[in-house]
Amino acid sequence: MSDHYQVLGVSRDATGEEIKKAYRKLARKLHPDVNTAPGAADEFKAVTHAYEVLSDPEKRRIYDTTGNENGTDNGFGGGFGGQGFGFQDIFDTFFGGAGGGGRGPASRTRRGQDALINVRIDLKDAVFGTDKKIDVETAVVCPTCDGSCCQPGTSPRTCDICHGTGQVQRSVRSILGQVMTTAPCGTCQGYGTVIPDPCHECAGEGRVRSRRTLTIRVPAGVATGTRIQLSGQGEAGTAGGPQGDLYVEIRVSPDPTFTRDGDDLHATLTVPMTAAALGTTVTLATFDGDREVTVKPGTQSGEVTVLRGLGVTHLRGAGRGDLHVHLQVETPTKVDAEQEELLRRLAELRGEQYAEGRLSTSGSGVFAKLRDRLGNH
């Protein structure tokens, strides 16, 4: 496990203010907003974790004593059943902190909450990926106090009631006699310090609400429901605490031409009856530009032509899906007298006779074949 002091670049006898300054300097250098180098995000997390431990007096005391912020090398294996339930917890359970053990003052510093926003993109953007600008309204570090919670020029003051311990003790009578109980100090709320002059802009919280614009990379192959995690882009924590994470959930808008099935795309191409009978080539506008679709002579409605590699990019792995073109033969709904005469002539040539709106077949046409086949049963 890395040494938290080395991570922050401070000595083991550094003051709380020196630790805070070292953290802010490194956080500004390594924050994902300004540093996109490989490994910077992991360094940022390590720096943040080191600060969370060393900025908390009790956690720092345990870390300095045991070399582990969890204090699990005390020979008891973390307590009963490995759940971290120690003798102090027994006192707390029965006596509310009896025995005067105490856990030290609480830290005002808290990690910010994670945030979730929805982003809508076009199907083409899902196929190839895109860069998307998003507006995020969230909590950011207060620009006036820089997260200190205090009005500039002032600082927290040690609590006069608990004298910086964050706890107060009182004596109560029990079946075991007089027992000392420990509870958080009501004056400083357990922090050990009070802020006599809170920052006017953030009301002593160390953060304010603000709107900011981010540019995110949406990878190719995403689908509705895909979530993208942006580490350290969520809400700023209280009292200069680290930021949470931002999750972007993708919503893909319907496309007027193409539908998606997994990583395959589907489109319907309508061709005239005569083109389907005689055969032709039709130009189809795809996401990759115009592509020619061959319609073979005698094509029937429902036949499918597959254009390989023109579907959605695989989110994991190389390659793309296919584009399935469904052919639909269009029958004319209105014909003029000349067209009707030509169609009747075609029917005669094919052995298909029409009389008073009824169809009769002869010869070797398709209907004759069907008639003969049924007649044999």
AA identity, residue 341? E
The reply to whether 149 sits in an annotated binding site is: no
The reply to whether 199 sits in an annotated binding site is: yes
Q: Provide the token pair at 179.
A: 């027992």
The reply to whether 185 sits in an annotated binding site is: yes
The reply to whether 159 sits in an annotated binding site is: yes
The reply to whether 142 sits in an annotated binding site is: yes
Q: How far is CA 108 from CA 26, 55, 169, in A?
A: 20, 10, 22
Which residue from 192, 172, 170 is spatially nearest to 100, judged by alpha carbons?
170
Phi/psi of residue 368, each to 5°?
A: -65, -40
The reply to whether 145 sits in an annotated binding site is: yes
Binding-site residue set:
142, 145, 159, 162, 185, 188, 199, 202
Binding-site residue set for Zn(2+):
142, 145, 159, 162, 185, 188, 199, 202
